[in-house]
Amino acid sequence: YHMIINGDSTSLRNLGNLPLWMIEGLAEYMSIGRIDAHTALWMRDAVLQDDLPTLDDLNSYKYFPYRWGQAFWAYVTGVYGDEVIADYFRNTAKYGLDAATKLTLFTTPDSLSTAWHAALRNHYGRWVGLDADAIAVLNAADSDRKSKDKKEAREKLLRRLGKSQDLPGRKLFDDDAGRMTICPVLSPNGKYVIFLSEKNLFTTDLFLAEAKSGKVLKKVASTASDGHIDQFNFIESAGTWSPNDKQFAFDVYEKGRSVLVIQDVFKGKSVKKISIPGVPAFSNPAWSPDGKTIVVSGLVNGQTDLYAYDLKSGKVRQLTNDKASEILSTWSADGKMLAYSTDQISLERGRSNGEWTMNLAVMNMETGETEQLDFFPGADNLNPQFDKAGNIFFLSNRDGFRNMYRYDMSTKKVEQMTKLVTGITGITPYAPAITVAEDRDRVLYTYYENGAYKVYQARLRDFTPEEVDPNNVDMVPASLPPFKPGQRDVINTNLRLLDNNTQASEASTTLKPVKYKPKFSLDYIGGSAGVGVATGNSSFGTATGLAGGVDMLFGDVLGNNQIYTGLALNGEISDMAGQFSFINQKNRINWGVNLSHIPYRSGQYFQDPDLQPEVETTLNGEQYFGYQDDIIIQRLFQERVGVFAFYPLSVTKRFEVGTAYEFYHQRVDHYVNYVDASGFLLGQDRERLDAPGTNHLMSLSTAYVGDNSYFGFTAPLQGWRYRIGVERYFGAYDFTTVLLDGRRYFYVRPVTFAVRGLGYGRLGGNANNTNEVYPLFAGESYFVRG
C-alpha cells in the first residue's frame, strides 16, 4: 500500500485496480513462502475436482483469496523470479491486471491461467490419481475450451476419478447440514456430537446430532437468537462435553472478552457464564473427567499458556509459564494426563522453512512433569485426542498431506491411520478436526473435499494402521508449484534464514517508546460537481444553476478519530448545504459533535389569471402589453450543532444520548416573468420579500438500541432490531416523544418474513396543537414500507 500510495505515478485511486486475491495472496506468499501444507491441500482438491480458476474467476467469492492468491504468486515467482513482484504489482495498480500481465510477463491472462493450471496438474497429479494420460486430457480441455470432444473426454475422466476415492468410515451428515461442518466434539459416551455449521446461511451456529446416524436433533446455540453472544470462536476452537454427557462448554466473545458458556444441551438453557479471572482471551476448553476443572489455552500479555479453572471455587491455576505456546489440550480418560500441542522443541531447534512448528507434549497432572514427544521434526503435530486405551490420536502434515496418526504411549510407536488425497482439517491448520469417544469405538474427522468441510464417522476397524519412522518427514507434497529443489530465490531464502536474521537484528536493535499522536489523513473522497449555464432563448430567458457535491472522510491510522465533511449544491449559491462531523472512538464511550447548514426550498407559481393580454407594469415602473406571472421561492435554513455519545454493551446492544440546538430562519424571493402578447418572455425581475420570524429548538435524547440483523442488498434477512427512545424538545416546540420500535426477521429459504411492532407518540406541551405541530399519520413512509 505504501508503495502505491506514495509512488511517483500512482496514488490512492490506483488501489482500486488491485484484486483482493493479488494483495492478500502476496501477503501469504511473502510470510509463508511456497511450502504450505494447508494451501497445498486446497490445491490438490481443486486438481482432483478439476475446478481450477482463471485469473478472472479469482474475483469470485467461491475462490478464497488467501489460498489461491498465495498459489498464484508461488507460480509467477517460480517461473519469472521474485524480482518480478514489484513491477507486476505496481503495473497492475497503474493499468489493471490485463494490461499489467501483458506488459510485465509478456503473456495474456488466459495463457497465464492455462500455464498455471498445467503446472498444478503436473505437480499434484501423481498424488491425486492422475497419470500422464489423464493430465494430458485435462490440459487439452483447458487449452481448448470450445472443443466438444475434449470436453466430453474431460467429463468422462472426472466421473471415473470421483468414484475412485476410498475414505475410512462414512460421511456422517447429508448436504442439508451445511457445506461447512466443522469442529465436531463427541460426547464421552459416543452417542452424540456437537458441531459448528453455517447451514442457516448468515451465522455459524452450534448443532446437536446423533453420532451414529448423523440426524441433526436441534440447534444448541446461535448468535442470531442469543443476544448475549457476540460471536462464536469457530475459527480455531471447539467446545467440550461434561463427563455426564448433559452439558457442553464453549467459548464465545462477549463485550470484547472471551467468556465460557456452559449450556444444558437437551434443555437448551445456559447454566453458567464464566469470565476467567486474569485471562481475557482463551480458547479450546477441555473438561476434566471428574467434572471439577476446565483447562483452556489462555492469551495473557501476548503469551499463550494453559490455565485450569476450578468450577466450584472459581480459582485459576496456571499450568504452563514459558515462552512456548500451548494449545489444543485434551484429558486422558482417567484424568491423570493432559496432552497438548506446543512449539517448545521448535523454539529450541529453530524454525522450519521460516515457521515455528508444533510438537505434542504430555503433562502428568499429579506431578506437573511434562514430556515433550519428539517425532516428525519440522512438521506440525496437532489436535491430540486420547482414546480409552490411553493412546493419542493426532493430526500431522509430516508427509506433506494432513493425515491422522496414533501414538502408543507404552511402546512409543507411531502409526499412520489414514492416507488421504486432500486432508483432515478445519478452517485453519490449528482448528480441531478430529474427536475420539472415551467409552465407545468411534472416531469423527473433518475431511476437506470439493471445497467443503465434511464430517466422517469411523471405527477402528475402518482404518489400516501402518507403523512409520518417527523421523521421516517429506514436505514435497506440501509445496506450491513450480517446485524446484535447490532453487535460490529471495522470499524463500529469507524465510529459511529467518532465525539467523532475527537474532542479528535483536542484538542490535533498541526500542524507544514514543507517545502516539494521531494525525488525520484522507481515507475516502466521493461525489461530483457540475456547473450549467443557458442563455439567449427568448421563450425561457436566462438561467444559471449549479449542481454537485463532495464528501470526504478523514481518519487517523488507528481509527480512533474520524472527521466527515460534506458539501452539496443544487441551484443557487444560497442553496448550498454543508455538514461537519467528528467522532472519537478511542475509549469505550464513543462521542462526537456535528455541525450542519441545510436549506429546504419550496415554491409557488402563480400564472396570470387574465385570459387576454393587457397593459402590465414591471417592478421598475415600466409598462408593456402582455401577461405577468409570479413565482415565490421560500427557503427555510436549519443551522444545527449537536453533541452525542454512545456506550456499547456488546456488538449488538448500546446506549445512546445526545443534545442539539437548532436555529431556523427563512428567506423569501419573488420572481416576476414578463411575457408579451405572443407568449415570449420579455424579461424577469426579482425582489426579496420580508421573511417570517426565526425559531429556536433544543432537544435532549436517549435510547437503548439492539441490532443483530444480517442484511441483504436492500433490507435485513434474519435476526432482530429494536429501539427504545425518549426525546425532549424545548423552544419553538415543547413536547416529549416516546418511541418503541421492534422488528424480527425470519429467513425461510429463499425468502424472509418480517414482523414489526411500533409505538410512537408525542406527549405534553403543544404536542396536540395541530396548528403548530404537523399531525402524525400512520401511512407516512417513515412508518410503513414494503
Rg of the chain on CA atoms, in Å:
34
pLDDT of 531 > 70? The answer is no
Q: In degrees rounded to 5, what are phi and psi of residue 79?
A: -90, -45
Of 555, 17, 103, which Cα lies nearest the Cα of 4? 17
pLDDT for res 150 = 67
Percent of the chain at pLDDT exceeding 70: 92
Q: Using the structure block, give the residue that is written with the C-alpha cell 524446484.
A: 484
* Helix, strand or coil, per DSSP, at residue 408: coil
CB proximity list for 420: less than 8 A, separation 6 or greater: 167, 401, 402, 403, 447
pLDDT for res 230 = 57
Cis geometry, peptide bond prior to residue 750 (ω within 30 degrees of 0)? yes
Q: Is the pTM of this model over 0.95?
A: no
Longest alpha-carbon distance in the chain? 119
363 and 370 Cβ atoms separated by less than 8 Å: yes
Least confident of 267-281, 509-523, 702-716: 509-523
Query: pLDDT tens digits for 361-398?
Result: 999 999 999 999 999 999 999 999 999 899 999 999 99
CA distance 11 to 28: 24
pLDDT of 539 > 60? The answer is no
* Mean pLDDT computed over 586-609: 92
Location of each CATH 2.120.10.60 domain in the chain: 170-279+323-462
* Mean pLDDT computed over 146-171: 72
Q: What is the DSSP string of 409-444?
A: TTT--EEE----SSBB--SSTTS--EEE-SSSS-EE
Q: What is the fold of 170-279+323-462?
A: Neuraminidase (2.120.10)
The CA-atom distances, in angstroms, between 372 and each of 308, 369, 457, 752 are 20, 10, 30, 54
C-alpha cell at 312: 466450584
Of 460, 330, 344, 425, which Cα lies nearest the Cα of 385? 330
Element (H, E) at 66: helix 65-80
Of 412, 401, 410, which Cα lies nearest the Cα of 374? 412
252 and 232 Cβ atoms separated by less than 8 Å: yes
DSSP 774: P
5 and 12 Cβ atoms separated by less than 8 Å: yes
* Mean pLDDT computed over 707-730: 90
Q: Using the structure block, give the residue that is written with the C-alpha cell 482471551.
A: 281
Q: In degrees rounded to 5, what are phi and psi of residue 761?
A: -150, 155
CA distance 180 to 195: 10
606 and 642 Cβ atoms separated by less than 8 Å: no
pLDDT for res 226 = 56
Q: Which is more confidently placed, 332 or 534?
A: 332
Query: pLDDT tens digits for 143-154?
Result: 777 677 667 777
CA distance 517 to 753: 49
* End-to-end CA gap in the chain: 43
pLDDT for res 111 = 94
